[in-house]
Amino acid sequence: MTNNRQQIAIQRLSTLLEHLSVQTKKIDQLNAKNKSHYLIENNNLFSKHLFHTESDKFSPYAKEVTKRLNEFSRLYNSSANNINRAEFALSSLQRIEEQISALMKAIQANQAMHQAAQVSFDARKKVRVKSAQVKQLQQNDIYNKMAKNVLLSSHQLHQQLIEHHEFERRLMEMISQREQQRMRSRASNIDKLSQEVLALHQRLGRCRKAISAIEQKMKLAEKKSLR
C-alpha cells in the first residue's frame, strides 16, 4: 500500500513538472522580450539553500527539480529491501514538493515583479527625457520627487504582494494538512477539523481578495507613471 502511494505521488509530481517545464520556458521567453527585464536580470530567483541552480530564468530550476525527482524514483525503486525506505521517501518527496511550491509561487509573482520593474523602467526613461527637455532646476526637482514617489509606492505594493502570496501558500498548506488529519481522524474529532478547514478557507478567500486589490493598485500606479 505504501509503495502504491509513493508511486502515485511520483506520477503526480512528474505530471506537474511536465506542465511547469513548458510554462517556465514560455515565461522565460516573454521575460526576455520585456524591456524592463534588464532591471531584475542577473539575480538568482531562489536562495542557495533551496536550489543548487543559480539563474534569473525559471526553466533551469524546473530542470533541477525534474532531475531530482527522476533520481529519487530510481533510488526508491532500487531500495525495496531498505528498512529506511519509508523515511527516505518522505524526506525526499517533501524536499521536492517544497521546491515545486517555491517555483509555482515565483511564477505567480513574476507578472507583479515585472510590473514593478516596468514602472521603474518607465520612470527612469521619463527622467532622462525630462532632463534633456527641461533645464530649469525647479522643474527638474518637481519631476524627480514625483518619480521617486511612484517608484517607492510600486516597491511597497510589490513587497505587499509577495507577502500576501506567501500567506496564501501557507494557508493552502494548512488546509491540506487539516484535510489529511480529517481523513485519518476519528469521528469524534472530524467536526472540529471541519470547522478549522472552513475557517482556513475563509481566511484564504480574504487573502486572495487582498491580492486582487494590491494588483489593481499596482495597475493604477503604473497608469499614473505613464501619464
When the pLDDT of each residue in the chain is averaged and rounded to a whole number, the result is 76
- pLDDT above 90: residue 66: yes
Asked if residues 169 and 105 have their Cβ atoms less than 8 Å apart, the reply is yes
* Interatomic CA distance for residues 180 and 174, integer angstroms: 10
Candidate ranges 26-35, 75-84, 132-141, 202-211; pick with highest mean pLDDT:
202-211
Q: Which three cell numbers stand for residue 159?
A: 513587497
Predicted confidence (pLDDT) at residue 64 exceeds the cutoff of 90 = yes
Enumerate the domain spans of the chain. Answer: 1-108, 134-227
Task: Write the pLDDT tens digit of every residue in 150-187.
Answer: 554 666 777 777 888 888 888 888 888 888 887 787 76
CA distance 174 to 172: 5
Whether the per-residue pLDDT at 23 is higher than 50: the answer is yes
Structure confidence at residue 22 (pLDDT): 92
Of 16-25, 27-36, 50-59, 159-168, minimum mean pLDDT range: 27-36
